[in-house]
Amino acid sequence: MNVFYKAFCRTYQFVMKIAANFLPFRQPEILEGLEKVPEQIEKLGIASVLIVTDDVLHNKLHLIDGLKEGLEAKGIKYAVYDKTVPNPTIDNIEEGVVLYKENGCNALIAFGGGSPMDCAKGIGCRIASANKEIPKMKGVLKVMKKLPVIFAVPTTSGTGSEATLAAVISNSVTHEKYAINDPVLIPKYAVLDPSLTLKLPKHITSTTGMDALTHAVEAYIGSSNTELTKAMAIKATKLIFENLKNAYDNGEDIKARRNMQLASYYAGVAFTRAYVGNVHAIAHTLGGFYGVPHGLANAVILPHILDFYGEKAYVKLSELANAVGIKGTTEAKAKQFIQAVKDMNAYMNIPTTIDGIKEEDIPTMVERAFKEANPLYPVPKIMSKEDFTAMYHEIATK
């Protein structure tokens, strides 16, 4: 890669790190238990809300029944948008906007995994900026208007979207998947209720848990950390190593489920300020092109990217290794940490490669991943287009 372009990337990242000190970062207020949502809505004097979820949670698992009953008991009107798809689309957002307006809503409840949360944030963006289409908000600080109050209710433990400034949206026509990043997207309230995660299938528990680990690791090994983000990333990593296997083995382990919710939240707080990295740049393209679940993509890609970084990431990986009880020299601890990630994937039957990657799609995915990662992501080692190309071949099932 051109040395001058690398210098430009590092300068850009340094400027963004300094500029972040002047942005209105905040943490959501945590509400413990789903029953607190109607109470808080009543306190705020909100008359009507839009619940953004998906068909499975609403009509098959009936997880939002208790929420609806609580709202009805308080005399709060609600509408439900349950057409959110994995990797939510611009169409999802526009449909939600129509429903929000038709029902005179003045707040949003995002109920589900990362997809309903991203969809709800997108709806909030369009309500706040009625004359600005979603593609025009792609990137950093393109919203800059106050959103309606958002209550984020995670039913998985991985995306951390209940704590972040990001919404990841897909264009169903171009297969492009991109992020809107703006502090105004940080939800007002994060509702942590581990009982909502007790029935998660094993493959969702595993991949969303590894999603949270990816957030924590990418935030920590980047160069835009603060003392808070480092502390949050370490807490998340420690909790995941201590609890994810238990949650995977015994889905009814309420303690493990609660700790995984906390880990997801802490990792979200970490990466919303410290950014993610090349793992996410690649994962977003796989979601956009093939609908690969984000957590699965991150889980598969993470150890490959950590191996690629090599000694550039050893010091910080060794610090994460310290947090999970790995001993040895700096290099040895870093390598053992990467192996521990691989071992955790293997324990939970997560594959080492991604099926269905087409050779003819790789050039376009490379362009998009490179553009997402650079110059923004403060990664240990900047990847060239050639590096991205090699990585797609490495992670593709042969």
Instruction: Examine the domain organization and report whether 101 and 115 are in the same domain.
Output: yes
Instruction: Examine the domain organization and report whether 158 and 223 are in the same domain.
Output: no
Confidence of residue 27 (pLDDT cuts 50, 70, 90): very high
Instruction: Examine the domain organization and report whether 7 and 62 are in the same domain.
Output: no
For the chain, the straight-line distance linking the first and the last C-alpha, in angstroms and rounded, comes to: 28
Q: Which of helix, strand or coil describes residue 169?
A: strand
Q: How many other C-beta atoms can be found within 10 angstroms of the C-beta atom of residue 176? A: 18
Could you give the angle at which helices 202-221 and 254-274 cross, rounded to 10 degrees? 40
Burial of 329 (0-12, 13-18, 19+ CB in 10 A): exposed
Short-list 306, 321, 282, 275, CA closest to 381? 306
Confidence of residue 172 (pLDDT cuts 50, 70, 90): confident
Residue 337 pLDDT exceeds 80: yes
At 389 the pLDDT is 98
Per-residue pLDDT tens for 63-115?
999 999 999 999 999 999 999 998 899 999 999 999 999 999 999 999 999 99
Per the structure block, which two tokens stand in for 275? Answer: 């950014």
Q: Of 171, 197, 223, which residue sits at a domain end?
A: 197
Residue 1 pLDDT exceeds 80: no
Q: How many other C-beta atoms can be found within 10 angstroms of the C-beta atom of residue 270? A: 33
Q: What percent of the chain has pLDDT over 90?
A: 96
CB 153 within 8 A of CB 193: yes
> What pTM was computed for the model?
0.95
Chain centroid to CA 119: how far?
13
CA separation for the pair 352, 397 (Å, rounded): 8
Residue 167 pLDDT exceeds 90: yes
Number of compact structural domains in the chain:
2
Confidence of residue 142 (pLDDT cuts 50, 70, 90): very high
Q: Please name the amino acid found at residue 397.
A: T
Instruction: Examine the domain organization and report whether 180 and 42 are in the same domain.
Output: yes
**Does any domain span residue 226?**
yes
Instruction: Examine the domain organization and report whether 274 and 375 are in the same domain.
Output: yes
Per the structure block, which two tokens stand in for 304? Answer: 């490959």
At 341 the pLDDT is 98
Q: Of 182, 197, 212, which residue sits at a domain end?
A: 197
At 3 the pLDDT is 93
DSSP code for 383: P
CB-based burial, 187-211: b 16+ in 10 Å, e otherwise? bbbbbbbbebbeebeeebbbbbbbb
Per-residue pLDDT tens for 35-67?
999 999 999 999 999 999 999 999 999 999 999
At 59 the pLDDT is 95
Strand partners, 52: 81, 110
Instruction: Examine the domain organization and report whether 192 and 207 are in the same domain.
Output: no
Instruction: Examine the domain organization and report whether 165 and 271 are in the same domain.
Output: no
Per-residue pLDDT tens for 10-26?
999 999 999 999 998 99
Confidence of residue 148 (pLDDT cuts 50, 70, 90): very high
Confidence of residue 199 (pLDDT cuts 50, 70, 90): confident
At 185 the pLDDT is 97
Instruction: Examine the domain organization and report whether 264 and 124 are in the same domain.
Output: no
| CATH code, 39 | 3.40.50.1970
Confidence of residue 175 (pLDDT cuts 50, 70, 90): confident
CB-based burial, 125-147: b 16+ in 10 Å, e otherwise? bbbbbeeeebeebeeeebbeeeb
Q: Span 174-192, mean pLDDT? A: 94
**H/E segment holding residue 150:** strand 149-154
Instruction: Examine the domain organization and report whether 272 and 360 are in the same domain.
Output: yes
Instruction: Examine the domain organization and report whether 90 and 232 are in the same domain.
Output: no
Instruction: Examine the domain organization and report whether 204 and 189 are in the same domain.
Output: no
At 117 the pLDDT is 97
CA separation for the pair 304, 115 (Å, rounded): 25
Per-residue pLDDT tens for 348-394?
999 999 999 999 999 999 999 999 999 999 999 999 999 999 999 99
Confidence of residue 174 (pLDDT cuts 50, 70, 90): confident
Q: What is the mean pLDDT of the chain?
A: 96
**Does any domain span residue 62?**
yes
**Does any domain span residue 26?**
no
What are the angstrom distances between the C-alpha of 336 and each of 92, 240, 370?
Answer: 42, 16, 29
Domain that holds residue 74: 33-197
**Does any domain span residue 27?**
no
Per the structure block, which two tokens stand in for 11? Answer: 């300068």
Q: Of 176, 197, 218, which residue sits at a domain end?
A: 197
| CATH code, 9 | 1.20.1090.10
Q: Span 323-346, mean pLDDT? A: 98
Chain centroid to CA 283: how far?
11
Instruction: Examine the domain organization and report whether 217 and 366 are in the same domain.
Output: yes
CB 244 within 8 A of CB 209: yes
Q: What percent of the chain has pLDDT over 70?
A: 100
